[in-house]
Each structure stands twice: as structure tokens, then as C-alpha cells.
Amino acid sequence: MRQVRKFGRLLWGLLRELSDESAYERHLAAHGRVHSGEEWRRFSEERLYARFTRPRCC
């Protein structure tokens, strides 16, 4: 049961990483800011700009 829970946590962690939600949390913590629509838009723009300048695999 503990293994299943661990796997579930890992999967949830992966989904949050892929969705940038973890990165956003880190961003808030690193800059000592709180969540707001404006803050998300600022973070998201910076993050997405970097993501869409890198080639993707085929």
C-alpha cells in the first residue's frame, strides 16, 4: 500500500512538473511573492517564452 501511495505521489509530482505548477510554486517561494492572476501571467510569460524558443524532438 505504501508503494502504491509513493507511486501516486510520484505521478502527481510528474503531472505538476509537466504542467508548470511546481515551477510556479518554486517561483513564488524564491521571490517571496503570493499567488495572483497578475503574478501567474508574469511567470507564465517568462516560462513559456523560454520553452518555445527551444527545439522539440520529432
- List of residues contacting other proteins (CB under 8 A): 10, 13-21, 23-24, 26-27, 29-31, 35-37, 40-41, 44-58
Cβ proximity to other proteins: between 3 and 52 the closer is 52
How is residue 57 written as a grid cell?
A: 524532438
- Minimal distance, residue 1 CB to other proteins, in Å: 19
- Minimal distance, residue 2 CB to other proteins, in Å: 16
Q: Determine the Cα–Cα distance for residues 51 and 35; give it in Å rounded to an integer.
A: 22
Check the CA dihedral 37-40-41-42 and report its sign.
positive
Q: Look up cell 503574478; give the residue.
A: 39
